[in-house]
Structures are given as structure tokens and as C-alpha cells.
Amino acid sequence: MILKQYGIASSSGAVLSDTASGVLSQGFTGRFMIDTYCNSASSSAASFALGFGNIQLGISDAGSTAQIAATTAAASPSSTTSSAASATSTTGTNILTNGDFGTGDYSNWALFRLGNPTFAIQGNPGSYVSVITFPAGGDANNQAALLQNAATAKAGKTYTANMGLLLNYPSGLANDGSSCSLQLYFVDSNGFGVSFAQTSYKNGDAAFQTITGSGSVNNGFNGNLNILIRCYGSANAIVAGIEDVQLFES
């Protein structure tokens, strides 16, 4: 779980106080880590001094308020697609273009892959889905990503992302070692920004998942919405679908 990612441009002696929270979809044995990166726009020989104090990591019930949340829905849609947005009450301005792939193609999206996954738009007007097929026998290095340079993130604003995810719909992932993972985030070119969801799936998980998450921005940046999917471990091809992607600013 990434609790917070952002970049800070500040003067010497600046103090930042911040909090962040997240919800786990499944348990794990983990470690807490703070990772920092510094550079200077004016000098390659610049030096930096960083200090940390009063670091706390609290645990509370899943029902408590979380700044960053990933939610999965066990309900199956009545057709091969179902609107993720309809399941989530969101206010604000949707800053994505062609998030529902309504043009019937990948207009406004950039596609990246490692390994041999393939991309295609399937469905009918009004219910298009981005289908990513991962070949049989692949490993965790097989990954596919959809990116959109959505907008400039503004300090003090909250960003909420919603999308639908289909996993070998309607049967779900097979009981043969199949595994998929999803990362959904809004970041700058250095990887600083907001992480909305990091989840993994296996046999027994619902074939349709509704993903939603939100986070606030401390410093503005020129951001990309990034959807990264990995599927592997199956003797057969794994088909993942993405639909109704939205990014709201409020």
C-alpha cells in the first residue's frame, strides 16, 4: 500500500506536516518504508538535508474514513459491461477524455506493454470495453498500461478515480495459478502524486470489480492517470477488461 506520493518544491528550512491513510483488500506481512528523492533544477552539485519526526502508523477498523481507498464489488453485472460510475456517487469535474472509450478506439490514451499482451476495443456503442489479453504461460513481467495526460493537478484539490475491471468475465480467474494485479494512480513524470488503488486478484474473486479511490494534492503537478495491469500464471490466456474510467476534481 502506498500511503502518499507527491513532489515538494520548497525553500530551505521548510517544514511539511502531513497524514495519509489507506484500506487493505487483503492482509499481508509487511514493512513500513519512507523513500525520498531530491534534485535541483539549478545545480547538479546541490546538497540536501532532510529530517523526519513523530512518525506514526495507526491501525483502525476498515469502516473508518480513508483518504485513499480501493473497493471491490462482488456483484456481477447483468451484461458483459457495467458502469463503474453508476455505483459511485461522485461530485466534481471529470477531467478525463474518452474514459469510456466511446470513440470506439484509444483516442486520448497512450498504450504501453512489457511482454506480449494485446489491446483491443470491444463491445457496442455506449458500452465499449478496453480488452487486454495476456498470453498463456506468462510471468509477472507481463504487464500493460493505459495512460492519459489528464490535466494539471491543483494544490488543495481532491481527486477521485472510478473504473470497472473485468477478469476473464464472466467466469473469473481459473484455479490454475492465475493471478492479476491492478495499480491506479495520478502522478507526474517522476512518479509523485496520488495512488488510488493497488489490488491483486486470484481464483474465487469476482469476475467484475468496481474500483474507486481518492486522494488530495499538496502541490500542483502536470499529471498522468496511469492504469497498470499484470496478469500471469495461467495455462490459458487471461483476458482483462477496463471500462468507464473517470477522474474527478473537487
Fold type of domain 1-250: Jelly Rolls (2.60.120)
Confidence band, pLDDT 50/70/90 cuts, at residue 171: very high
Chain-centroid distance of CA 39 in Å reads: 26
- Counting residues of the chain whose pLDDT is more than 90, the rounded percentage is 53
Q: How many Å apart are CA 40 and CA 214, to the nearest integer?
A: 30
- Segment 158-180 shows an average pLDDT of 96
More confident of the two residues 79 and 62: 62
Task: Give the pLDDT of residue 47.
Answer: 61
- Residue spans of the domains in the chain: they are 1-250
Would the pTM of this model clear 0.85, i.e. be above it?
no
Mean pLDDT of 125-153: 92
**pLDDT tens digit sequence for 43-70:** 555 565 666 655 777 776 544 333 323 3
